[in-house]
Structure 1
């Protein structure tokens, strides 16, 4: 295989999705690959991005995206004649299967535990969700037999033993790592970053305003208008201490990065309700909070508790126990020096091990190995 053309494909994610664009695509470009990203059109693009981005029509309707988006994606991707097609959404499995030829490589980048995620979707009744999850598992197994599997989470290895873990650790942000935090500057503001949904704790985070009359909750990430309205209703008379940044819009990574240094954050939030989908995941926001020297305040799921205890970088609580949450907040407010110490321990863990630079080496090495294998087989 002589060319080093690589195409990354998504019909679901924003073109500047951190894992797809800033980590994988830019890492491959810097390693000498000719990288093209095909993604839904967005007004956030400037035309000055460091890799070529080709856009397909943005479709908000799930069915239209599944059919029309996939067809448009297939035509555009096929015309590039790449050595590697690397796709990021399960709905693209059929067209990725069609793109697979003897002389190329197709990689399925598994961001989520999709089977569990389907069961948790609340827009269909449970029996239908369970059937769809089983159908998805069968279809996935049949169509991805000749594809390579890229896993964003460690525990996905249990479901995909032949997959390669390229973990979604953060890029080393030297500005954040060097940002000095002082005890006297620690405030009573709590931070949440990432998409906002009820199963990502949006209502629980809002309820903190009613649990503790002193704290402020700042949320940075995409949030539907209906959920934002529900959060404001939940906050009631305390809604003047709730700030939602990203209502009905995608929030660029650079905007979120600025948020990390905008205040003397007391803690970074991840108080999710118990769901099988999230209980095993190491959330990307954990690593981002740690990079910024912000202690984590999260649900006491066994995996999360083990992680936080290992790095001594925060506190875990029962997300449904307001008394326990209140005690944790009181402890943080009364011990600003420990807030700093937790943050610094988190920073050290990210700087030493939990960073994208290590995963980048794995990604580039894996690509090289796959291409060598194809070259030798031709």
Structure 2
């Protein structure tokens, strides 16, 4: 069946995300594609995005992969035949079998590789079973051979040599216009620390909470505002136990998943953004997206002292890199920012200028559009 030879003037693109995924799917990729393509999105986890340029259809979210496959695949199939897209853009490995099915209808398949699973699979609860590991390895071989791939970091290419299809790297830089109206006004009488993203031990939250305990002795009303999600229920319980045992309920506030604009409004008194990563999996070679987002909003940044992170921070002169397992180093840098408000403000402004000049979505958008065009021409 070759349904793509129709009289339509704009190609159709279907994005599918059955679980957690990078905000790039809506905020960046979809927005960039909408000028040229008719874009449809099937998503299970809403991120409070406001993207009117795409037709969005909700899916139910299930933590278990087998449930996502069993209950969401029939819905996905329905919309696939209803929309009849030229390109299907997948955002999770579990969708590889569906991509293979789509290829029977002469559909081009893209897989977005957000994580280097070859380095991180051991940390994924849903992949701990031997069956899931074997399935990932099998799906990975299929994707390498038959799909077009988009990678989130250049370093991922070391794990993906000799690819059969075209591929590209899209760095998850911020869209400048998304942050242009956001402005933090630090209130040092009630100092607020800002964090957005996944909450886990790998993101150094044991270090962060220990630092808050130390800082509380000097600033009893210090605030830590957290936006995002816990990587697993086990760490969520450990986190809550730590808060209770150390009497931090008045200092640490968890707001869940929210759009960045809303997080900034809630945390408008913030004076620093945290983007710490431990030396785990592919983190040593990956940029924390939140680092660039903090920079885009003129917040000073404290991040990991990995070489690639330091190269950005030192070039932009917008913050500090520390050992993410050293709570005393974190406390020292936070105190420095509190005691040097003018210098901290200059750091934030320098970071924003650096994003506007170097680390923004414009260059990545061009790569995305060129990649799509090359796929349609393939």
For 1:291 and 1:137, locate their aligned partners in 2 and report how far apart those are by CA, in whole Å: 38
Q: State whether structure 2 residue 13 is matched by structure 1 residue 6.
A: yes
For 2:103, the equivalent position in structure 1 comes to: 100
The farther-off stretch of 336-345 and 232-241 is 232-241
Alpha-carbon deviations, 1:162-189, whole Å to 9, x = none?
520122111113654774868x869632
User: Which of 243, 249, 253 pairs up with 1:239?
Assistant: 249
For 1:124 and 1:148, locate their aligned partners in 2 and report how far apart those are by CA, in whole Å: 24
Alpha-carbon deviations, 1:234-282, whole Å to 9, x = none?
2312331111111xxx32343234346x11x231112333212322110
Call closer, same or farther: CA 1:194–1:178 in 2, change over 3 Å.
closer
Alpha-carbon deviations, 1:122-168, whole Å to 9, x = none?
5776xx56x85565234312344121111122222222355201221
For 2:57 and 2:215, locate their aligned partners in 1 and report how far apart those are by CA, in whole Å: 47
What is the aligned-residue RMSD (CA, Å)?
3.0
Q: State whether structure 2 residue 281 is matched by structure 1 residue 273.
A: no
Correspondence 1:1-378 to 2 at 5 A: 3=8, 4-13=11-20, 18-29=23-34, 31-40=35-44, 49-101=52-104, 103-121=106-124, 133=133, 136-161=136-161, 162=163, 163-173=167-177, 176=180, 179=183, 188-213=191-216, 214=219, 215-223=222-230, 227-228=235-236, 230-235=238-243, 236-246=246-256, 250-259=257-266, 262-263=268-269, 265-371=270-376, 373-374=377-378
Alpha-carbon contact 2:65-2:94 (below 8 Å) kept: no
Alpha-carbon contact 1:154-1:165 (below 8 Å) kept: yes
For 2:278 and 2:46, locate their aligned partners in 1 and report how far apart those are by CA, in whole Å: 32
Alpha-carbon contact 1:314-1:342 (below 8 Å) kept: yes
Call closer, same or farther: CA 1:188–1:352 in 2, change over 3 Å.
same
Residue 99 of structure 1 deviates from its aligned partner by 0.7
| Number of residue pairs matched by the alignment | 360
TM-score (norm 1): 0.84
Call closer, same or farther: CA 1:33–1:122 in 2, change over 3 Å.
closer
Any stretches of 5+ residues in structure 2 without a counterpart?
Answer: none
Q: Tell me, what secondary structure is at the counterpart of 2:249?
A: helix
Residue 6 of structure 1 deviates from its aligned partner by 0.7
Residue 309 of structure 1 deviates from its aligned partner by 2.1
TM-score (norm 2): 0.84
Call closer, same or farther: CA 1:138–1:307 in 2, change over 3 Å.
farther
Any stretches of 5+ residues in structure 1 without a counterpart?
Answer: none
For 1:24 and 1:357, locate their aligned partners in 2 and report how far apart those are by CA, in whole Å: 11
For 2:306 and 2:184, locate their aligned partners in 1 and report how far apart those are by CA, in whole Å: 30
For 1:186 and 1:366, locate their aligned partners in 2 and report how far apart those are by CA, in whole Å: 50
For 2:68 and 2:133, locate their aligned partners in 1 and report how far apart those are by CA, in whole Å: 19
